[in-house]
Amino acid sequence: MYAQLVKSEGSKSREDMTPEEIAFQDRIDRNEKIEPKEWMPEGYRKTLIRQIGQHAHSEIVGQLPEGNWITRAPTLERKAILLAKVQDEAGHGLYLYCAAETLGVSRDELLEKLHSGNMKYSSIFNYPTLTWADMGAVGWLVDGAAIMNQVPLQRTSYGPYSRAMIRICKEESFHQRQGYDIMMKMCAGTPEQKAMAQDALNRFWYPALMMFGPSDKDSVHSAQSMAWKIKMNTNDELRQKFVDQTVPQAEYLGLTIPDPDLKWNEEKGGYDFSEPDWTEFFAVIAGNGPCNAERLGARVKAWEDGAWFRDGLMAHAAKADERARAARHAAE
Amino acid sequence: MSSEWPLWEIFIRGQHGLNHRHVGSLHAPDAEMAIRNARDVYTRRNEGVSIWVVKANDITASSPSEKGPLFDPSNSKVYRHPTFFDIPDEVGHM
């Protein structure tokens, strides 16, 4: 998922809630949407800012690993498709930043927190994209995992977040399909091409499983977020669903999931599979993944290099305003 | 520290002759750039044939606390709906 390890605030039992908090929880239990200016507990507001912010940052930083291949796409059509996909990610980031801003945080504050490392983005984007097959694996697995999480979030309790998710989900399935389409092409190609596809799956499988966040037994923030309906399913539920959906897709491609212990479990009606290496996950989240410095560096550079341009446009707008006012004044 | 671009609310009219509908917001230095950005952010898949942009600061909204006084009075006026009136079947479609 694009928001992992979101720290949730104040888990309270009903007896400890104020009348306002009880009324608020009742609204959520009735599936009413909470809208921007309405009363909400401070913890709800803060948790949502963290979660939506982290989600937005992930969309924006998520452009970088794929942007890497725009100039190297194998055909003009693939290039146009990848460009459209990466542009969508930018759009998704913008929808989500706007949703976060309705909670009283400014865009610049959010960006400052990303750039200073105080807010996170998904661990998945700290892995390198080494070959064209990685574009296939990213679309298929990374966007696939994101969809798994985003579809239920369309029913989240906060109106602007829910509306952003509805829009994003509508656009997202193109992303997964374009990835799978690349994988199909590679797997139907030469043995070398198929080997590239297998290698991409090998490298992205466990990082994709990590996207859902730590195992439920170690996920301390889930209960309150689920009561507030800003988290709809547990990490393990979604991970299981993702594995069950993805294994047959890999089989169709003739690729092998890099997990010797992967096995269908008739009793639970799902696959048993190996957990990712959680030590690696926490290291990547803490900033020590293969590409953390490069990704954040690229974001900060883009922001700083663009400052003169943003300021220039503002100065131009202010002058144009001034001229228009003077013209109106002269006409009166 | 640079100043943040102002926030604009974006309204799009779709293909089928419906009203402009609020679709979201974005930051832009001025109205012209807001329209250009709205084209890229909100109509990448043919969602619209017309865009309105309004500075978010220029919108006055009713407050959530007024919800009762503003909207409750219409609850009791069921006669505003056609289904309130029983028309005999013999009269035919009305």
Rounded to the nearest 5 degrees, what angle is found at the Cα of A165, between the Cα atoms of A161 and A168? Answer: 140
ipTM metric: 0.88
Percent pLDDT > 70 in chain A is 98
Distance CA A94, CA A101 (A): 10
Mutation site, B39, B45, B47, B60, interface A, largest A CB count within 10 A: B45
Report pLDDT digits (tens) over A175-228: 999 999 999 999 999 999 999 999 999 999 999 999 999 998 887 778 889 999
CA dihedral of B1, B2, B3, B9, whole degrees rounded to 10: -130
pLDDT reading at A53 higher than 70: yes
- Strands A270-272 and B21-27, how do they pair? unpaired
Whether A91 and B24 lie within 8 Å, measured CB to CB: no
| d(C-alpha A169, C-alpha A104), whole Å | 25
Smallest CA–CA distance, residue B84 to chain A, in Å, is: 28
> CB-based contact (8 Å) between A87 and chain B?
yes
Q: What is chain A's mean pLDDT, rounded?
A: 94
Looking at the complex, does the CB of residue B57 fall below 8 Å from at least one CB of chain A?
no
Q: Could you read off the pLDDT tens digit of each residue along chain B, which spans 94 residues? A: 468 999 999 999 998 889 999 999 999 999 999 999 999 999 999 889 999 999 999 999 998 888 899 999 999 999 999 999 999 999 999 8
Q: Give the chain A residue nearest B39 (alpha carbons).
A: A91
Helix (DSSP H) and strand (DSSP E) numbers for chain B:
2, 3
Please answer whether residues A309 and B4 qualify as being in contact, where contact means their C-beta atoms are separated by less than 8 angstroms.
Answer: no
Residue A135 has pLDDT above 80, yes or no: yes
Shortest Cα distance, chain A CAs vs residue B27, angstroms:
9
Q: Let me know the angle formed at the C-alpha of A132 by A210 and A61, rounded to the nearest 5 degrees.
A: 50
**Cα A261 from chain centroid (whole Å):** 28
Cβ B40–A311 below 8 Å, yes or no?
A: no
B94: Cα within 13 Å, side-chain hemisphere: 10
Q: Which residue has the tokens 């700290």?
A: A126
**Dihedral angle, C-alpha A188, A192, A194, A197, nearest 10 °:** -130
Q: Round to whole Å and give the CA distance between A243 and A234.
A: 15
B30 shares contact with chain A (CB less than 8 Å): yes
Closest partner residue to B41 (CB to CB) among A37, A94, A313 is A94
CA distance A308 to B38: 22
Residue B4 C-alpha, separation from nearest chain A C-alpha, in angstroms = 7
List CB contacts (< 8 A) between A83 and chain B: none
